[in-house]
Structure 1
Amino acid sequence: MATAQPRPPLNTRRSSTLTFNSPGLSPGGNTSRPNNPLLHKVQRLLSANLEDSGTRAALDTLGEQEDAEEVPKSTGGAANGAGVQGVGGALKRGGLRKEVEGKMAEGSREFLQAFSEVNDKLSMLQSHLDAMHVCCDEVQTELEKANTGTRYLLEHAEGLRQQRATAAVQQSLVHVFLTRFTLSNAELRALTSREVPVGPELFAAMDKTERIRADCRALLSGEAGEGTQAGLDIMEYTAQHLEAGYTKIYKWLTFEARGFAKDVLEVSATVREAVSRLKSRPEMLSEVLTILGTTRSTSILNLFLDALTRGGPNGLPRPIELHAHDPIRYIGDMLAWLHQAMAGEREFLESLFGTKGDDEKVARRVGEVHALSRHRRVKTGVEGAEKARTDWDRIKKLLDKDFEGCGRPLKIRVQQTIKSQESPIMAYRIATLIHFYKVTMERTIGEDALMSSVLGEIMDNAYEAFFATLQAQGRSLLRFIQPPAAALSAPTQLRDVLSTLREIMSVYATSLLENESSTATTLAKREEDFRDVLDAALDPALEMCGKMAEMRQAEWDRAVFWINCDESVLGTLEGYDFVGARRRAVEEDEAKYVDSLTAEHHSHLLKDSGLEAVVAALREKDAATPLSSLPPANSAAILAAQQAFTAFLSTVDPVSSPRLSLLPPHIAASIHADALRRVSEAYAEVWDAVADPANGYEGRDSLLRRMKEEVRMLLGVQ
């Protein structure tokens, strides 16, 4: 068998055959058959788009069919082979329909055979389904019978499940109720048993009991019913155990209160919490505080006596009574010890009551006025502020109770020291020192406290002793009075009194009492407070000066002596604002004597100047009488006065005068300057009178040669 040669693609092969072997398609052929159907098909095929995928697939199928049926051709001449191939292709194309139809028929037979098998299978399946349907009906019937039989069991089971859920809910509620409204065995043991100490366990049990009672009050506030009886039972049940807890705290605190007899006191958190809880039982707390006050009073008294006689540990600090020879240090040490002890006691009590809040981190000194701050009132509200005020009242009462034993030994020692003082300065320093601590104590524990009363009593004794020394000093000044010295200076007795007064004023100005009250007391109040001291010290001395001045016959001497005394007083009072009223009174008295001396000194200078007669005539004459007609002021008298005045100007000192040498320099300078000013004014009056034509002077320009301005300049008048 010859091997088949490879063939070109179908579209190329068909195109070459039609182009070269068909006579009707040759370019030069005869076109006698214009309606050739083959030509039309060929043209349609040539004009078709063979790039379409469907068309290409159909042609490829035909080509494969043709190749499958082609037989080997002889290898004759090229032209003969081409002709046979074209005829065979044409024959195959003629039987193509038959062949295709045959294949389609064969395919249909195969399809029918396959469907016949499927139909047999479906028939078998249908028979099986019918059998199963019959079986399902039987099962359904049996299920309906079973369902009817078990429906009662299902309903009964559902009811049991609901009852079980309800029982579970009720059990949970009962558990919650018992947990919330009953106490556990451990909590009951903490409230009632002595074996459980006072501490967090007891406090937690009490808190729970209080919460149970609060919840019961809410339960009782509802409608009456079963809950009302339950609430009453629970309230009765918890009241007994709660009272047992408070009794346990009370007994424990009474024991602890007897143990606060040490020097260094520390308050534990348990004690502080116990006191806080016992505040709701005022009777119990009052008894505890009474025991505490008695314990602390005895302890503080023993400590005070030890500080007076034995001193501190190992003798340091030294006993206070070793300084009994120094009154200020002795009394000051005793009061300072009480001040420090009260500060420590106040801190102990504030810690005990828990009154130290965040708004009091800045320490308040003992003696500062205690007042609830606005921050605390806002923070805690009215109720909290009222509780804090109640706590502070308790603290003040305890402070008073704690220090009541120290009052008697303090009073005895201070009074003995006061009675031994003869110096008014020392007596006044003691009085002001006690006065300061009295005010401090009143601000700390109140004016009604025993220690405040003791300090008030010894303060009164100190002031009485001070004024007694001043009165004795005044009586001694008036007992022996002598005339002023030749220099008319302030007497030695006055200077001694003023020295004492200055020391007293210095004590008042620099005392702690003055510093404490300066922010709240006006200047007038301070003057009023010191007026009695000033009068008692100064009035006898001024009375002595007055009697001494009366021993001088000359008014000039009396005035000079008084000015010297007043200047000494003013020098002492200078620099202290709380003696302003008395200083002004002394200045007015001095001004009176200065005016008297100025007038007398002016008369003396006017006489020395030669103008006295002329000025007297000028000031005494009638307005209608010419001055030149008066003998003391005629032209000759004016010329004589002019000569005397010229000599006066050449000798007078415009700065000072020997007659004023006994006065203080600034007073003498002031008097001399004022007198010279008056002399200058008198000369100006005479000048104007001579220059007035109405006075009838002839040759007025030659009578007075010195101008008024020249005289003012020569006399140093400003």
Structure 2
Amino acid sequence: MATSYFSERASPASQDLLSPASPAVGTPSRGINALSTRITSVLSASYADLEIRDALETLDTRGVKNTAETRRQLRLDVQKEVIQCNGEVVKDFGQVAEQLKRIGTAISSLNKCCDEMRSHIAAANRETGPVLEEATSLMQQKKQIETKQQTLNAFSSHFLISEDEITVLTSTAEPVNEEFFQALTRVKKIHHDCQVLLGTEDQRLGLEVLERSSKQINAAYQKLYRWIQREFRTLDLENPQINASVRRSLRVLAERPTLFQNCLDSFAEARENILSDSFHAALTGHTSESQNLATKPIEFQAHDPLRYVGDMLAWAHSTTVSEREALEVLFISDGDEIKRSIQAGLESEPWLRDEGDEDVFDGRKALNQLVSRDITGVARLLRQRTEQVVQSHDDATLAYKISNLIGFYKGTFVKLLGADSEVLEVFDTLESSAMRQFRANMRDHVAAVQGDLAVAPADLSPPEFLEDALQMLRVLAKSYDTSVAATDSNEDGFHSVLAETLDPFMGGCENLGKSLQAPDSNIFALNCLMAAKTALTSYSFAKDRLSELEETISEHIAQLVEYQHQYLTYTSGLNTLLDALSDISDTADSLKTIPELNAFKPEALVGASQQLDEFLPSALIDAAENLKRLQNRTIVQNITEEAAERFCEDFEFVESKVIAADDLLYKEEEEEEEPVPTLRDLFPRTSGEIRVLLS
């Protein structure tokens, strides 16, 4: 539409300019300037402006046609529409004003009603204030009366017990039965309820009741303490069904931690004496009452020292398990109730609590401690008998087996009694004592063997003292492997054994090898090292020492490979050629000097070739003969093959130099046309032939 509008606008103008009615050319210049100005303003206008585009789109939507009449009436029409819109807005705002007037009238009416209600409420508050104050006072008086009534009822029902109940509670002639515990529970409730009396105006009554109930409770606990001690002296732990009254009594007595601990101490002392007598009877067959047992005593049955110690440890372990199972019902099933009772006792007697003790009572810990104290006497006798066995024998293997056996049972007792048990100190002492005896016996044995060291055997086999040491090491390793120490401490526990049983003898073998010449020294060392490796191969806990042995074996194998290589090169005569070529480089000038070397002159080279031919048929057999006293034939074969491979590499080096020198000489012969015998003709063997003959 914009395009048509401007085209229509432009058409009349052009027609006016060219019509006959248009002014003459000689009209004044003023009209021409106005027209040009108008045209210039139209042409300079930017029709890409958004406002112009919006105006054109508005005209397009209104459906305005571009005519002269429309252009003249456009401004008037627009102004008329604006005036109409403004009139409608004014009319709408008039309606809003009328609504606001009605709302203002309603608000005024509501404010008036609120004022009237506020005045009525104020009058009601003035009239009901005294009534509320009187009701509040009456409620407080009622509450005070109810409190006094409750205090009176509590005193009547809780603060008085009969003489029969006092007799049951305090008299030692009366048994500890259900009536005793009911009376004690009631008196404790009275003691607790005394706090209510102390909160009243008459505190004297509360103090009197509190003092009387405290005396009754203390007398009841003393009666219960003495009764438990009598029961403990006659208690049969062989029967796992412990009297229910004893369990309940212990649970109640725990409210007095001091009395409870004294009972446990006396019980532990009695059980220690009983178990010590039982252990002595199991050893000797005689009890403290001079009665003979039906079973055969351990001292008469176990003639082997290791079995003797094992039987004693087994008896101690069995007794500990039985003791723990018998006492477990006291501390595990009722552990939480005992803990609550001790907690209550510590709250009533806070001076008994330790500052750093966070856990009031741990049933399993208390059980472990009590069982440990019960078997203390057994552990003491066990230590004496075991130390006598260890010190009375000079066999290092026996001492080590006993140490491992003690270590095994120590791990078992750790699982039974925990790592903090005092009994474990006895096992630590015994284990250390057995290991000290083992080291002392081993050092004596090493000192005796060192005096007999002379020379290595003629066949370079491991000496007899090393064979004996390895046999002992196998026994010790098997003992360590079957003990719990092998799984707990892995290799650390066996390092000390190796240091005592293997290292001194390997050092003796090393000293013997120093007096031998190569390759006998290396062969002797390998035979000894391989024997030690074979003894330790089947044990995973010796892998570090096996790695060390393998490194040492590799060193000696490398030395033997070097010896065999030297033997092959010298025997074959190849060393002369290698020495001659040591200063030859890969340059042409250097290679041309090879035929001038003494080792590569015709006579010398032909002699070297003949020596090589004589050497090759029996080279491997002769080389293997050097290692015939090495017991491991696989190592002999590997050493010989590696030396032969290095020999082949040396030969390939010589061959490459010979071929390179011949190539240079062949070129010069073609230029001079004078035939000269080549080095290859004098030294015809090839590296392929060498490898075939040495394979």
- Place the TM-score, normalised by the shorter chain, in its bin: 0.5 to 0.7
Query: Which residue is 1:618 aligned to?
Result: 581
5 Å-filtered alignment, 1:554-569, equals 554-569=517-532
Quote the offset at 1:285 in angstroms.
2.0
5 Å-filtered alignment, 1:253-402, equals 253-260=228-235, 263-264=238-239, 266-310=241-285, 317-354=295-332, 386-389=359-362, 391-392=363-364, 394-402=366-374
* 1:657 equivalent in alignment to 2:624: yes
Instruction: Answer with 170-179 or 408-417: which moved more.
Output: 170-179
Is the 1:309–1:319 contact (alpha carbons within 8 Å) kept by the matching residues of 2? yes
Is the 1:220–1:227 contact (alpha carbons within 8 Å) kept by the matching residues of 2? yes
In 2, Cα distance between equivalents of 1:279 and 1:168: 38
Over 3 Å counting, the alpha-carbon distance change for 1:551 and 1:176 in structure 2 is closer
In 1, Cα distance between equivalents of 2:423 and 2:147: 69
5 Å-filtered alignment, 1:76-95, equals none
Over 3 Å counting, the alpha-carbon distance change for 1:199 and 1:513 in structure 2 is farther
Quote the offset at 1:356 in angstroms.
6.7
Alignment deviations for residues 364-419 of structure 1 (CA, whole Å, 9 cap, x no partner): xxxxxxxxxxxxxxxxxxx9992332x55544443343233334432332222212
Query: Which residue is 2:435 aligned to?
Result: 463
Quote the offset at 1:272 in angstroms.
1.0
Alignment deviations for residues 456-495 of structure 1 (CA, whole Å, 9 cap, x no partner): 3333332222112211221122111232222111112111
Instruction: Answer with 704-713 or 342-351: which moved more.
Output: 704-713
Quote the offset at 1:193 in angstroms.
3.8
* 1:603 equivalent in alignment to 2:566: yes
3-state SS of paired residue (2:255): coil
Equivalent position amino acid for 1:198 in 2: V
In 2, Cα distance between equivalents of 1:502 and 1:672: 32
Instruction: Answer with 652-661 or 416-425: which moved more.
Output: 652-661
Provide the aligned length of Structure 1 versus Structure 2: 513
Quote the offset at 1:189 in angstroms.
4.1
Over 3 Å counting, the alpha-carbon distance change for 1:263 and 1:357 in structure 2 is closer
Is the 1:598–1:671 contact (alpha carbons within 8 Å) kept by the matching residues of 2? yes
Quote the offset at 1:226 in angstroms.
3.9
Quote the offset at 1:576 in angstroms.
2.5
Over 3 Å counting, the alpha-carbon distance change for 1:630 and 1:563 in structure 2 is same
Equivalent position amino acid for 1:341 in 2: T
Query: Which residue is 2:597 aligned to?
Result: 630
Over 3 Å counting, the alpha-carbon distance change for 1:207 and 1:706 in structure 2 is farther
Quote the offset at 1:440 in angstroms.
4.7
Quote the offset at 1:294 in angstroms.
2.4
Query: Which residue is 1:112 aligned to?
Result: none
5 Å-filtered alignment, 1:689-700, equals 689-693=657-661, 696=665, 699=678
* 1:251 equivalent in alignment to 2:226: yes
Query: Which residue is 2:216 aligned to?
Result: 241
Over 3 Å counting, the alpha-carbon distance change for 1:213 and 1:472 in structure 2 is same
Quote the offset at 1:710 in angstroms.
4.7
Query: Which residue is 2:652 aligned to?
Result: 684
Q: Which runs of 5+ in 2 are unaligned?
A: 1-144, 337-355, 667-676
CA RMSD of aligned residues (A): 3.5
Q: What is the TM-score of this pair, normalised by structure 2?
A: 0.66
Quote the offset at 1:577 in angstroms.
3.1
5 Å-filtered alignment, 1:440-519, equals 440-441=412-413, 451-515=423-487, 517=488
**Residue 535 of structure 1: which of 494, 499, 503 is its match?**
499
Quote the offset at 1:188 in angstroms.
3.6
Alignment deviations for residues 210-246 of structure 1 (CA, whole Å, 9 cap, x no partner): 33444444x368xx53475655444334323222221
Over 3 Å counting, the alpha-carbon distance change for 1:241 and 1:605 in structure 2 is same
5 Å-filtered alignment, 1:420-431, equals 420-431=392-403
Quote the offset at 1:442 in angstroms.
6.0
Quote the offset at 1:321 in angstroms.
0.6
Over 3 Å counting, the alpha-carbon distance change for 1:713 and 1:316 in structure 2 is farther
In 1, Cα distance between equivalents of 2:190 and 2:694: 106
Query: Which residue is 1:711 aligned to?
Result: 690
Equivalent position amino acid for 1:584 in 2: S
3-state SS of paired residue (1:388): coil
Quote the offset at 1:340 in angstroms.
1.6
Over 3 Å counting, the alpha-carbon distance change for 1:180 and 1:408 in structure 2 is closer
Is the 2:332–2:364 contact (alpha carbons within 8 Å) kept by the matching residues of 1? no
Equivalent position amino acid for 1:549 in 2: G
3-state SS of paired residue (1:505): helix
Over 3 Å counting, the alpha-carbon distance change for 1:316 and 1:429 in structure 2 is farther
* 1:576 equivalent in alignment to 2:539: yes
Quote the offset at 1:619 in angstroms.
2.0
Over 3 Å counting, the alpha-carbon distance change for 1:656 and 1:621 in structure 2 is closer
Is the 1:656–1:668 contact (alpha carbons within 8 Å) kept by the matching residues of 2? no
User: Percentage identity across aligned positions?
Assistant: 29
Quote the offset at 1:630 in angstroms.
0.5
Equivalent position amino acid for 2:371 in 1: L
Is the 1:323–1:329 contact (alpha carbons within 8 Å) kept by the matching residues of 2? no
Q: Which runs of 5+ in 1 are unaligned?
A: 1-166, 359-382
In 1, Cα distance between equivalents of 2:570 and 2:211: 115
Quote the offset at 1:204 in angstroms.
2.5
In 1, Cα distance between equivalents of 2:148 and 2:444: 98
Over 3 Å counting, the alpha-carbon distance change for 1:555 and 1:354 in structure 2 is closer
**Residue 514 of structure 2: which of 541, 547, 550 is its match?**
550
Instruction: Answer with 439-448 or 562-571: which moved more.
Output: 439-448
Query: Which residue is 2:405 aligned to?
Result: 433
Quote the offset at 1:644 in angstroms.
3.9
In 2, Cα distance between equivalents of 1:655 and 1:608: 10
Equivalent position amino acid for 2:513 in 1: A
Over 3 Å counting, the alpha-carbon distance change for 1:271 and 1:600 in structure 2 is same
Query: Which residue is 2:341 aligned to?
Result: none
**Residue 415 of structure 1: which of 383, 387, 402 is its match?**
387
Alignment deviations for residues 143-198 of structure 1 (CA, whole Å, 9 cap, x no partner): xxxxxxxxxxxxxxxxxxxxxxxx99999995666334544565444323445421
Is the 1:654–1:715 contact (alpha carbons within 8 Å) kept by the matching residues of 2? no
3-state SS of paired residue (1:330): helix
Equivalent position amino acid for 1:631 in 2: N
In 1, Cα distance between equivalents of 2:147 and 2:368: 57
* 1:589 equivalent in alignment to 2:557: no
3-state SS of paired residue (1:485): coil
Query: Which residue is 1:675 aligned to?
Result: 643
In 2, Cα distance between equivalents of 1:484 and 1:176: 103
Instruction: Answer with 246-255 or 342-351: which moved more.
Output: 342-351
Is the 1:655–1:673 contact (alpha carbons within 8 Å) kept by the matching residues of 2? no
3-state SS of paired residue (2:564): helix
Quote the offset at 1:420 in angstroms.
2.9
In 2, Cα distance between equivalents of 1:688 and 1:443: 74
Over 3 Å counting, the alpha-carbon distance change for 1:327 and 1:570 in structure 2 is same
In 2, Cα distance between equivalents of 1:592 and 1:172: 99
Instruction: Answer with 634-643 or 686-695: which moved more.
Output: 634-643
In 2, Cα distance between equivalents of 1:314 and 1:475: 48
In 2, Cα distance between equivalents of 1:199 and 1:262: 21
Is the 1:415–1:458 contact (alpha carbons within 8 Å) kept by the matching residues of 2? yes
3-state SS of paired residue (1:280): coil
